[in-house]
Amino acid sequence: MNLLDWLRPRGNRPRLAVVCGLILGFAGVGCIVMGKDHLGNRVVEPLGAIVLLASTVAWASGSVYSKYARQPAPALLAIAMQMICGGMLLLLVGAAMGERFHPGAITAASAAALAYLTLLGSLVGFTAYVWLLQVSTPARVSTYAYVNPLIAVCLGRLALDEPFPKSLALAAGLVLGAIILITVARRAKDGGRLQNGRMPAEP
């Protein structure tokens, strides 16, 4: 998101501290992706990781575009339009791939997961994400992407007894360090603008 925001016309060039934070964040995620279990087997499939990273490029492109593109005045309308379009696209792709809905296959766990993703993941999480894009910077908003893999690994260990790679401690330190560095750098920049008698560019 930061690179795309920089490369766009009249883009915002990231400060050195932000660049260092991004490098630390990538290194932390890399430690998780390349981590191995006690038997020496990879915890994450490299090809799957590459596909996921490619999908984040598409996500970041849409996020940066939505920050600067003209949108309907009611913020909730724009959010609803995005979720409806995304849902319709998923239905079409699923139908084209031969996926079918079988009510008898619904379990309590799958129903709870759907309810969780609908209420917290979409209505709460995505709404908050789109709002943050409008009031903050890509550098700060994108820090969530560094925390997600760490939370996923911890939850997998606690809930499903999945492998806990030894590199997780190092990854956790790098991820948290990246978030702190990016956040502190942004606050310092905003503080400098205020001391010079200028308000920050973003509300």
pLDDT tens-digit series, residues 16-56: 887 888 888 888 878 877 777 666 777 677 788 788 888 88
Residue of 121, 171, 180 whose CA lies nearest to 150: 171
- pLDDT tens for 150-176 read 787 788 888 888 766 667 778 878 878
Length of the chain: 203
Residue 85: Cβ within 10 Å count: 10
Q: Is the predicted pLDDT of residue 96 greater than 90, yes or no?
A: yes
Cα separation, 202 vs 58, whole angstroms: 24
Average pLDDT over residues 132-144: 74
The predicted structure's pLDDT at residue 95: 92
Q: Is the predicted pLDDT of residue 113 greater than 80, yes or no?
A: yes
Q: Is the predicted pLDDT of residue 148 greater than 60, yes or no?
A: yes
- Give kind and range of the element (H or E) at residue 149: helix 144-160
Share the mean pLDDT of the chain.
78
Average pLDDT over residues 181-200: 58
Q: How many angstroms separate the first and last alpha carbons of the chain?
A: 19
Name the percent of the chain lying above pLDDT 70. 83
Residue of 169, 187, 165, 167 whose CA lies nearest to 177: 169
Average pLDDT over residues 8-17: 78
The predicted structure's pLDDT at residue 115: 92
Identify the DSSP state of 165. Answer: -
The predicted structure's pLDDT at residue 94: 92
Of the pLDDT bands very low, low, confident and very high (cuts 50, 70, 90), residue 109 is confident
Cα separation, 20 vs 28, whole angstroms: 12
